[in-house]
Structure 1
Amino acid sequence: MSAKTLFHPVNLPLDRLPGADRLLLLKGGMIVTMDDGLGSFAVGDVLIRGTEIVSVGAQVAAENAEVIDATGMIVIPGLVDTHRHAWEGQLRRINPNSPTLEDYCNATHFSFAKYYRPQDMYVGNMLTALGCINSGITTIIDNSHNARSGAHSDAAIEALLDAGIRAVHAPGAPLSGDWESSQWPGDLRRLKSKYASDPESLVTLAMMAQINREQWAVARELGLNIVTEFFGAGMAAELGALQQEGLLGADNIFNHCTCLPDQGWSILRQAGVKVNVCPRSDAHYGLEDGVFAWQKAVDHGLNPGLSVDNESSYSGDMFTEMRVAFYLQRAAAHSAKFHGKSSAPDLVSARQLLKAATVDGAVCAGLESKIGSITPGKQADIVLIRTDNLSVYPSNNAVGTVVHAAERGDIDTVIIAGRIRKRGGVVLGVDRQQLQAAAEESRSYLFDAAGYRPDPFAESFTPLHAH
């Protein structure tokens, strides 16, 4: 029995996408297109036909269109999370004070991950995907490094499809425990045939792998992007050889990239490697010096995407990620200037970070031709943010409101590929009772299997038997 048949908490129409002729008009919103050619509109309309944006302007006429009144709302492209371990959904905030990467692994990979069943993958991915939709994240790169069997990967992908989120699913080898290693990475061929043959599908496929020439060759044979957790002097030392062998390219997606020397950054730029940075994760778990690599990337001509990474210690929203990035960069820049350093960087702007969370995130995911801006011809991944809530009213600056003040509770509407997934502040089609029951069953099973005694007031994670 598949994980999907065990429970199905999202009750949506069988066809995952709207009809090609359906017209949807977003009327009278303050539109931040993130398209430099189009600009922004203090009051404007967006017309969607089927899955695609067909017109953006100060006033768009459309007969027989369903109208969403966007008056008093800020309209932005859907947010893109370029690095999320979605399978960990039921482990949210289990280790809020985690001081190191090893401690994070103790609370995930070295304990619960070993006992995941396919249905636990489904539950974790479903919780994560719905949480993303609720907070305006319409696309994720799903770093699924717990692909213990083909059934585990199937369950993870089915959850993404059922949730209705856009995703790049990147299965990868588990870090501990028993698993069907003989099927890896060969199972990618089956997954590509089963799930990635439809060009209209919201879920595409990649590979998650560390520096492994044989595995990278399989991904390239299949035409898949390669996602790698990349940080530190040891990994940076391998860049020269990889470059000489012609093994770096635009199909590489590197996460973190903390503490890379200037030469390493030059190699990444020359090779066209895509990069994302993790403002909270790097500080929380002390990856190398704990400083996210935004400034280094920008200084070397790269435009990194932003990533949440995981929810085992903190929240899963991109608003917080943008704010943390803003203030970490500002603190470092002000400090450098105060201490008279000639290399003091320019101060980051709110628009730069919204670009990182939209346009640059789309580039990192290899989806820039489809998403990232509100542009005619692109897919209609769009978020409408209310400005009449007490915490944000009055909104005197649209981008400032989004980056510095808005929260998931301010999001009225989320549209993915023309399909309304959140409306009136509510994620649509979700059977909350069934979802909660499945999550509780999964969590209880995993806690029992790992010998973990939950303590809602624990200062640290202490499983009875890790490793």
Structure 2
Amino acid sequence: MSTAPSGSVLLSRGTIIAFNEETEAIEVVRNGSLLISGDRIAGIYDAARPDNLPSDIEIVDCTDKIISPGFVDTHRHGWQTAMKTLSPNTTLPDYLGRYAGDMPALVYSAEDVYIGQLAGLLEALNAGVTTTLDHAHSIWCKERTNAGFQASVDSGARVYWCHAFSHRDAYSLADQIANFKELAKSNSASSLTTVGAAYDLWVTSSPEDVEAVISVIKELKIPVLTTHHLGGPWSIDNSPELLHRLGILDTETAVVFSHSMAITPAGANLLRSTNQFISITPESEMHYGHSHPNAHLIQEQGSLGVDTFFTFSSDLITQARIWLQRTRSRVYDQVLVDWKVPKNNPMSVNQAFLMATRQGGLALRRPDLGVIRVGAKADLVVFNGRSPGMLGWLDPVAAVILHANVGDIDHVIVDGKFQKRDGKLTYDNYAAVVDRFLASVERLQKAAVERPAPVLEGRFWGGCEYGHATEVNISRGSGTGYGEQFIGK
């Protein structure tokens, strides 16, 4: 474009990590400028200031800065934010018994759900996550359900809020579906929050309940459906094969399988043929022992997520960095086992960057998200290239993936609007959000600390037996140095 409409913004003199749709590759524009018009990227220029700009355009100086597409998180549970630091050494069975499922329903109010979701999404925005797929399993009653949805709307983030249907004696599936229809039909097309669906009970529910969930998804043409898929000893086998048999995989609805650590070759081929995606949550999966032996073989249908981010890093930079090095290590081992020295690096920083950006957009069937190109949504992150940790960079992609942290982010723009500017969130009266959140935290954490830990005996969810992991040693004195958890007041 040679001209810009009134009210536009020009990010000037920055290094732009753009994307070429024809070559499907990253392209870098140095000392260039990016024009935002409304909610879209209207122009990318190799000049610091293109000609014929209107006099009232806002010019933001990005000298020595890196302009990146916004990061796309395809698996998160935002309502759980208040439980931060309570489960640093937890196992998945312990987490499910204390922090998910029925236990939180006994103590969480609608206010707790609302302010936890809002604070979590603002935390994500601060970290450059402009789009979040939220697996909302705080569906305990109509009031708490609606609170999580409203917090997503109020956050200013781009959110796919996926209502998780479940079985509750006090809140029937029929009531859940009725409220879900109300939310979906009231959801404005101009809203940054989109109503999606989540369901994990494909195997354990009655055929009638499964059909009811499928019917409402098809009836309302819900754009995104997500489900937890583990398999192996974890038993949660909501596989691509199963959902394909149910007739919902090869449809207009994007289906995101979270984790998929035991995906099979047949499941991987189904993802390719139906263009569906998995969400890899590296930090979470390494923490809980999901292993993920095969995901590097299906990365063209893979994206990245954070998961239960009251325990894990809420930014996608960390997840991309962990996944990059985890994948490198796994593939290197295949060479080293034969006593050979690897002569090439099996995964690049460009690939890791795309996993955290464009791949997430594709998982949601939104090719206009997670990329910088003309016509894409103006969801952008601007890094300060003069920060201590990034000083001296030459390759902007390597700088972001290997050296950047949340503190290096100057600006975050969603749908053409600044949600973080000059290093600070722009949310109105953020201090009041903090106060409300901390009041909720105090009550919820007290209840969680007082709750007895689950007794892990017998078998996990009726499947495999529990096993004991060796406790490693970090101390030369008595004991291993494992230590206590410091949660007392």
Q: TM-score, normalised by structure 1?
A: 0.86
Report the counterpart of residue 103 of structure 2 in structure 1: 111
Equivalent residue runs for 1:244-323 within 5 Å: 244-249=245-250, 251=253, 252-287=255-290, 290-291=291-292, 293-298=294-299, 302-323=300-321
Name the CA shift for 1:136/1:215 in 2 (closer, same or farther; >3 Å).
same
CA distance in 1, matches of 2:397, 2:241: 40
Q: Does the CA-based 8 Å contact 2:33-2:46 persist in structure 1?
A: yes
Report the counterpart of residue 330 of structure 2 in structure 1: 332
Q: Does the CA-based 8 Å contact 1:141-1:170 persist in structure 2?
A: yes
Amino acid paired to 2:38: G
Q: Does the CA-based 8 Å contact 1:149-1:180 persist in structure 2?
A: no
Q: Does the CA-based 8 Å contact 1:88-1:125 persist in structure 2?
A: yes
Amino acid paired to 2:401: V
CA distance in 2, matches of 1:244, 1:226: 16
Name the CA shift for 1:350/1:85 in 2 (closer, same or farther; >3 Å).
same
Report the counterpart of residue 41 of structure 1 in structure 2: 29
Amino acid paired to 1:70: C
1:405-442 CA distance string (max 9 Å, x none): 00110000110001011111111134343122211221
1:436 equivalenced with 2:434 (yes/no): yes
Q: Secondary structure at the match of 1:399?
A: helix
Report the counterpart of residue 17 of structure 1 in structure 2: none
- Higher relative CO (Cα under 8 Å, sequence separation at least 6) belongs to 1
Report the counterpart of residue 348 of structure 2 in structure 1: 349
Q: Does the CA-based 8 Å contact 1:282-1:292 persist in structure 2?
A: no
Residue 117 of structure 1, CA deviation: 1.4
Report the counterpart of residue 197 of structure 2 in structure 1: 207
Q: Does the CA-based 8 Å contact 2:71-2:357 persist in structure 1?
A: yes
Residue 216 of structure 1, CA deviation: 2.3
Q: Does the CA-based 8 Å contact 2:98-2:448 persist in structure 1?
A: no
Report the counterpart of residue 15 of structure 2 in structure 1: 30
Q: Secondary structure at the match of 1:119?
A: helix
Residue 113 of structure 1, CA deviation: 4.0
Report the counterpart of residue 189 of structure 1 in structure 2: 181
CA distance in 2, matches of 1:431, 1:155: 19
Name the CA shift for 1:451/1:356 in 2 (closer, same or farther; >3 Å).
closer
Name the CA shift for 1:293/1:282 in 2 (closer, same or farther; >3 Å).
farther
CA distance in 2, matches of 1:122, 1:431: 16
Name the CA shift for 1:273/1:434 in 2 (closer, same or farther; >3 Å).
same
Equivalent residue runs for 1:445-456 within 5 Å: 445-450=443-448, 452=450
Q: Does the CA-based 8 Å contact 1:258-1:293 persist in structure 2?
A: yes
Name the CA shift for 1:206/1:293 in 2 (closer, same or farther; >3 Å).
farther
Q: Does the CA-based 8 Å contact 2:227-2:238 persist in structure 1?
A: no
Name the CA shift for 1:162/1:245 in 2 (closer, same or farther; >3 Å).
closer
Name the CA shift for 1:174/1:242 in 2 (closer, same or farther; >3 Å).
closer
Structure 2 gaps, min length 5:
203-209, 453-481
Name whichever of 75-84 and 273-282 sits farther off.
273-282
CA distance in 2, matches of 1:376, 1:113: 45
Residue 180 of structure 1, CA deviation: 5.2
Q: Does the CA-based 8 Å contact 1:84-1:142 persist in structure 2?
A: yes
CA distance in 2, matches of 1:177, 1:294: 37
Name the CA shift for 1:41/1:332 in 2 (closer, same or farther; >3 Å).
same
1:220-244 CA distance string (max 9 Å, x none): 2111121100111455586545434
Q: Does the CA-based 8 Å contact 2:119-2:434 persist in structure 1?
A: no
Q: Which entry has the higher C-alpha Rg, 1 or 2? A: 2
Q: Does the CA-based 8 Å contact 1:112-1:449 persist in structure 2?
A: no
Identity of aligned residues (%): 25
Name the CA shift for 1:50/1:242 in 2 (closer, same or farther; >3 Å).
closer
Q: Secondary structure at the match of 1:39?
A: strand
Name the CA shift for 1:221/1:386 in 2 (closer, same or farther; >3 Å).
same
Report the counterpart of residue 378 of structure 1 in structure 2: 376
Q: Does the CA-based 8 Å contact 2:139-2:145 persist in structure 1?
A: yes
Q: Does the CA-based 8 Å contact 1:333-1:346 persist in structure 2?
A: no
Name whichever of 257-266 and 226-235 sits farther off.
226-235
1:216-272 CA distance string (max 9 Å, x none): 222121111211001114555865454345332352211111012212222232232
Q: Secondary structure at the match of 2:20?
A: coil
Report the counterpart of residue 359 of structure 1 in structure 2: 358
